[in-house]
Amino acid sequence: MDVSAALSALEALSSSTSTSSSGPLNALIDHQFTQSKQRILAGDDPKTVIVDLQKAVKTCKKDVEKGLKSWYGALGNVGKAVDKAFPPNLGAISKAYEDPPLFSAPEAADALDQVVLDSLGRRGLWDAVAAMEEETTLTYPKDRRALAEELQHIINSILSSNLEPALAWCETNKPFLNSPPHPSSLPYHLHKAVFTSLASDDRAAAIAYARANMMGFVPTQPVLKLITSCLYTGNDIPQNNGKDVDMDEEADGCNQRKAEEEDKKRERQEQLEELAKMLKDEFCRRYQWPKEDPLEVALDLGSRGGALNVIEKARKVMSEHLGPIRTWTDLPIEVPLPPSRRYHSVFVCPVSKEQATESNPPKMLTCGHVIAQESFNRLLKGGRRSAKCPYCPIETSQSVAQRLYF
């Protein structure tokens, strides 16, 4: 379990009344005590009332203990996740880098401050940004702050199911979003989300919405399929066909409907989260901001990615024989990174087994197989205009092979 998952589990506990210690206690005070008082006032035998009340207190105690158990479990998980995410010997590692201390050069110190300030701004922690501005000579650019606040506002609106600001942003930035080579599908997905939420209540309104806003996407997106699909969904057919149903079946149906509603809610939330992520990506692309927070990426690589542990191991093992590791510009070992963090993939030609270079770039053949340019040239030997793929029988003519960029 990673740290954020453990933290959300903890948060979920605090928002659930059954696991919060005040839930059962409040119930005890609000209901049991008032009820007992009323019973005594109404002339009930105080002895029996007290015995009942004792029982209620015992049950409440049990409930609180049960809730606490989940709390301890979740807290333990957070601790475990933190230990797992960060190298346990962080103190010892930082000691090894004390002479000269890390980030002691003014440029390095400035760069570090800048990265931290940017990260705070990205998260919208403006109090922390102000504090940091006071302590350093840096200032967070005003225009950037305005943009960061705009992004935050749009994202929060999307997550609370209000897509208006996002659609307005798309409208303002239409030329950018439509520009080649990668026209964005974000506006379509936003309209689609409005359409599906309308379709569950009022199909006619949904269809009218699609007609007014989505017809421009017909050439590139399955708009017509989407519109017609809403005509076939919904629950118009009576479930019991007029026959009598017994109570159990009715209760089952009720539970099923509840479960379906829960599923729908969850699906909608997932859809909104996906839209928020899409919008954030486009927003960052629009203003040429890094897609991910650089500080977060660096920390993630060092901690969860395990890079710090590998480097530390190398320092320990190698510095005995090869001198201080900090003077090296390259590490003579491979530091494995998670696939999502491999930014510069390399291509190795499956024919020649050589790594592709600028002068020998990867080429994709008609069939989709990729080989290096030189391997393709070898296949074209003898003035041939086309060559058969080394992996399948499909021929590719010289002019059709496409250069790929990794």
Contact 335, 310 (CB under 8 A): yes
Cα gap 51→31, rounded to integer Å: 16
Closest to Zn ion by CB, 146 or 404? 404
Cα gap 357→368, rounded to integer Å: 20
Does 176 help bind Zn ion (rule: CB under 5 A)?
Answer: no
Binder of Zn ion out of 367, 373, 386, 388 (CB under 5 A): 367
Closest to Zn ion by CB, 17 or 402? 402
Closest to Zn ion by CB, 292 or 395? 395
CB of 89 vs Zn ion, minimal distance in Å: 50
CA distances from 219 to 42, 99, 187 (A): 76, 63, 14
What would you report as the CA-atom Rg of the chain, rounded to the nearest whole angstrom?
31
CB of 345 vs Zn ion, minimal distance in Å: 21
CB of 166 vs Zn ion, minimal distance in Å: 42
Does 400 help bind Zn ion (rule: CB under 5 A)?
Answer: no
Closest to Zn ion by CB, 126 or 391? 391
CB of 398 vs Zn ion, minimal distance in Å: 15
Does 27 help bind Zn ion (rule: CB under 5 A)?
Answer: no
Segment contacting Zn ion by CB under 5 A, of 9-17, 91-99, 205-213, 364-372: 364-372
Does 13 help bind Zn ion (rule: CB under 5 A)?
Answer: no
Segment contacting Zn ion by CB under 5 A, of 264-272, 315-323, 329-337, 381-389: 381-389
Residues numbered 210-239 forming contacts with Zn ion, rule: CB under 5 A: none
Closest to Zn ion by CB, 12 or 392? 392
Cα gap 172→150, rounded to integer Å: 13
Cα gap 229→64, rounded to integer Å: 49
Does 369 help bind Zn ion (rule: CB under 5 A)?
Answer: yes
Determine the size of the site formed for Zn ion (CB under 5 A).
Answer: 5
CB of 79 vs Zn ion, minimal distance in Å: 53
Beta bridge partners of residue 402, listed in sequence order: 364
CB of 371 vs Zn ion, minimal distance in Å: 9
CB of 389 vs Zn ion, minimal distance in Å: 3
Segment contacting Zn ion by CB under 5 A, of 63-71, 91-99, 167-175, 391-399: 391-399
Q: Which long-range contacts (CB under 8 A, 24 or more apart) does 319-322 make?
A: none
Does 97 help bind Zn ion (rule: CB under 5 A)?
Answer: no
Does 392 help bind Zn ion (rule: CB under 5 A)?
Answer: yes
CB of 393 vs Zn ion, minimal distance in Å: 8
Segment contacting Zn ion by CB under 5 A, of 32-40, 60-68, 99-107, 383-391: 383-391
Does 116 help bind Zn ion (rule: CB under 5 A)?
Answer: no
Positions touching Zn ion (CB under 5 A) are: 367, 369, 389, 391-392
